Amino acid sequence: MSAEFNPVTATDTVTVPDTGLDEDDTPRRYYDLDETGFREVPKRWRKFYRHWQGPGDELAPNEVICPVCKVVIRSRRELRPGDRVYCMPCMSRLVVVRHPDGHLEAEVVY
């Protein structure tokens, strides 16, 4: 991981408001992603993943943890229930769901 990047404190930059509407009629936020030092996929895909730092590593609205391999999956857009994401490091296909406590998580789709 690069020396400058601290995933616990870093936030991605919101750049483009979306015109699309989600379940609660609020526009999605979009994010510019930077590489975080994750090197386990080919270079063109690296910015879409990062290592999870454990408890205290708060996820951004565009991030979910892969339940299979525990890598953080990142999207250019704010994630919402029903979104599909892929974990390239472990080759899993996932769908975003809302946990009863309100946070977003990913479930494997076989």
Partner 1 sequence: MGGADDEAWEPHLLEEDDFLREVQSFSFWFEAVEGYLEDRPMGFDPDLTDTHFEPAEREQLITLLANYCVGETAALEASSGLVRLAANNRSQIFMATQAADEARHVEVFRRRLAALGVSDVDEVIATRANPALIEFRRHLLAFVDEGQWDLAVFAQNVLLETMEDTVFRFHQSTADPVTAQILEGVVADERRHLGFGENDLGRRLARDPARRHDLAQVRMDLDPLVLNSFEATYRDLGLRRDEFPDLGRSYLEAVERLGLDT
Chain contacts with partner 1 (rule: CB under 8 A): 39-46, 48, 67-71, 73, 75-76, 83-93, 108, 110
Q: Where are the alpha helices (DSSP H) in the chain?
A: none
Please say which residue, 7 or 94, places its beta carbon nearer to partner 1. Answer: 94
Q: What's the min distance (Å) between Cβ of 33 and partner 1? A: 8
Of 42, 14, 24, 40, nearest to 80 by C-alpha is 24
Please say which residue, 93 or 98, places its beta carbon nearer to partner 1. Answer: 93
Give the side-chain half-sphere CA count within 13 A for 101: 2
Q: CA-to-CA distance for 34 and 47, rounded, in angstroms?
A: 5
Please say which residue, 40 or 58, places its beta carbon nearer to partner 1. Answer: 40
CB of 36 closer than 8 Å to CB of 7: yes
Q: What's the min distance (Å) between Cβ of 10 and partner 1? A: 19
Q: What's the min distance (Å) between Cβ of 25 and partner 1? A: 22
Q: What's the min distance (Å) between Cβ of 63 and partner 1? A: 12
Does residue 77 sit in helix, strand or coil? strand
Please say which residue, 73 or 104, places its beta carbon nearer to partner 1. Answer: 73
